[in-house]
Amino acid sequence: MSTLLRLHSVEAGYRDLVAVRDVSLEVRAGEVVALIGSNGAGKTTTLRAITGLLPVRRGRIEFDGDRIDGRSSAQVVARGVAHVPEGRQLFPTMTVRENLELGARDRRLRAAALAEVFDLFPRLRERERQPAGTLSGGEQQMCAIGRGLMARPTLLLLDEPSLGLAPVMVKLIFENLREINTRGTTILLVEQNVPRALALSHRAYVIENGRIVLEGPRDTLQQSPHIKQAYLGL
Average pLDDT over residues 179-207: 95
Per-residue pLDDT tens for 79-122?
Answer: 999 999 998 899 999 999 999 999 998 778 899 999 999 999 99
pLDDT at 230: 83
DSSP code of residue 131: B
Interval 179-196 mean pLDDT: 95
What 8-state DSSP symbol labels residue 134?
G
Q: What pLDDT band is residue 131 in, cutting at 50, 70 and 90?
A: very high
- Identify the pLDDT of residue 234: 58
DSSP state of 218: H
**Three-class SS state of 23:** strand
When the pLDDT of each residue in the chain is averaged and rounded to a whole number, the result is 94
Kindly report the CATH number that applies to the domain delimited by 1-80+155-161+184-234. 3.40.50.300
pTM of the predicted protein model:
0.94
Interval 18-77: pLDDT, tens: 999 999 999 999 999 999 998 889 999 999 999 999 999 999 999 999 999 999 999 999
The pLDDT of residue 109 is 84
| pLDDT tens digit sequence for 218-232 | 999 999 998 988 887
Look at residue 130 and give its three-state secondary structure: coil
Helices 137-149 and 167-182 pack at an angle, to 10 degrees, of 10
